[in-house]
Structure 1
Amino acid sequence: MSVPDLISLIAPIAEFCAGKDVDTALMAELNRRFPGDGPDFAAIAACLAEGIDAGDFCGKEAGGIRFSRPAKPSAATFEFSVDVVAYGDLAGPHHIHPTGEIDMIVPVDEAATFDGHGRGWLVHGPGSGHRPTIAGGMAIVLYLLPQGAIQFTGA
């Protein structure tokens, strides 16, 4: 699967999120409307796995974290950037989300969690920060960042 395939699969979700507050209410709506065991989630998860295997996603690596930004904010992504990371059992670099962050968590290993959450959606509100942590095995995380905004702190 290619970047255009991923964009076409993620576009309905980005459209659903566009204009909404990036908060826990959005997280609940995403988990209800696009559940981790649903067909939309499964199609995106398969695209991510195939794209990583084909080298279309996660072509860069630093500190054991494979990553890529398949799409910058644009009309096609409803002004979200699309980032994909794949790693396991470590914490990534601390960063702040000036406009929030919407995470699609795809455990490769069944027990894998991202920031304590399993398969599904996690939302970090505007101004929040964290060291993104995967525990319990390997996982793929797709990030939607409003306007592509992220600030690495070096902390």
Structure 2
Amino acid sequence: MSESPQTPEAFVQHFVEVTQRISGQVIGSDLEEQLNQAFPAGGEWFEAAKRMCRAGCEEGWLCAREAGGIKFGRAVPPSDTLNGMSIDVVEMDSIVGPHHSHPNGEIDLVMPLLGAAEFDGRGAGWKVYGPGSAHRPTVTGGKALVLYLLPDGAIEFTRG
């Protein structure tokens, strides 16, 4: 039996700067604005993150599972290195995902791959959901990778 490819340390370290900025912040619209200014779509940091995520999908250490037409996977469990955040990545192509809630909030990095893909109405960039929020994640207009940071790795799939 072969082992699954492991998440490279360089990938984890790329997100340390972001999780340090998030640590201690209220997770909401102000944080979304801060992240979009500090790590803007099309900027050097964003493009490096997108390259790493694409490579991870190709190499099999990201989005290694699939259900309902959505590729997904947890790349990094919550850790002190990431200030208590986990990293998950999904690949979605014009599809509505399963309803879930975010007990501690969810910080999403939207990376369109094909077409004018949007995730819950957001094109390339950051989208932040506060604690206690819930949704059916929806990608329209093409294919996107969405990386999400979850405080304490908390997510609850629901019937909604």
Matches within 5 A, 1:1-155: 2-155=7-160
**For residue 75 of structure 2, what is the amino acid of its counterpart?**
P
Query: Residue 81 of structure 2 aligns to a residue in which SS?
Result: helix
Query: Residue 7 of structure 1 aligns to a residue in which SS?
Result: helix
Measured in 2, the distance between the counterparts of 1:2 and 1:134 equals 25
**4+ residue runs of structure 1 moved beyond 4 angstroms?**
none
**For residue 35 of structure 1, what is the amino acid of its counterpart?**
P
Query: Residue 61 of structure 2 aligns to a residue in which SS?
Result: coil
Deviations along 1:78-116, whole A, 9 cap, x unmatched?
100100000111110000111000000000014000001
Q: How many residues end up aligned between the 2 structures?
A: 155
Contact 1:72 1:81 (C-alpha < 8 Å) held by counterparts: yes
Measured in 2, the distance between the counterparts of 1:50 and 1:110 equals 19
- CA shift for structure 1 position 2: 4.0
Q: Which runs of 5+ in 1 are unaligned?
A: none
| TM-score normalised per structure 2 | 0.94
| TM-score normalised per structure 1 | 0.97
Contact 2:118 2:141 (C-alpha < 8 Å) held by counterparts: yes
Query: Residue 117 of structure 1 aligns to a residue in which SS?
Result: coil
Q: Cα RMSD (Å) of the superposition?
A: 1.1
Measured in 2, the distance between the counterparts of 1:2 and 1:62 equals 21
Measured in 2, the distance between the counterparts of 1:25 and 1:116 equals 18
Q: Percent identity?
A: 43
